[in-house]
Amino acid sequence: MSKFRYPTLAFSVLCAMALSTPGSAQQAGTYTGTSSDGQSVSFTVGLDGNSVLAVTGAGISYEAPCKGGSAPTLSTAWGFGTDAVITAHRATMTAADPFFYIVADMKFSGSTVTGSITTRSPYLDPANTPPVRADYCISPKQAFSATLGGTGPDAPALPPGTMGHQQTPAQH
């Protein structure tokens, strides 16, 4: 068995390597990007009410194919406050509301967040006036990527439980 003769040198080299390696931790700010179908996504990372780093807001645009009615595709966008705590560079954001159900699994690496997202929304069937039923619109699970300070709409810093909405008429 041999001993390393220069333990202080070895420790210094290890410290220098660790400090020169780019960090992979998430950073506070707004991450903007797109999902694999080209729709915009935006996540705001900051301290939540417990001073823990979390996804505190999101802006999600999506197109969801509808089932059972006359509207084949719903195009909509929602902005909302959330509190998805980031642990070990990962977070799962679940936004449940009477108008949408959105789940995003996220992995942070430096100034990028990647993951997958699924969306579901009801849509009043436009074929009936007044509407007598709703279509159920589901966007399949898909990948997304967003960059800190990237291009795209910024998500408002809304408190959890609040939301904003933008919708275009269903495509027929």
Domains and CATH numbers, the chain: 22-157 (2.40.128)
Averaged confidence pLDDT in the chain: 78
3-state SS of 60-115 is: EEEEEEEECCCCCEEEEEEEEEEEEECECCEEEEEEEECCEEEEEEEEEECCEEEE
pLDDT value at residue 22: 41
Lowest mean pLDDT among 19-23, 80-84, 91-95, 150-154: 19-23
Whole-structure pTM value: 0.73
Most confident of 9-13, 21-25, 127-131: 127-131
Summarize pLDDT for 41-54 with one digit per residue, the tens.
Answer: 999 999 999 999 99
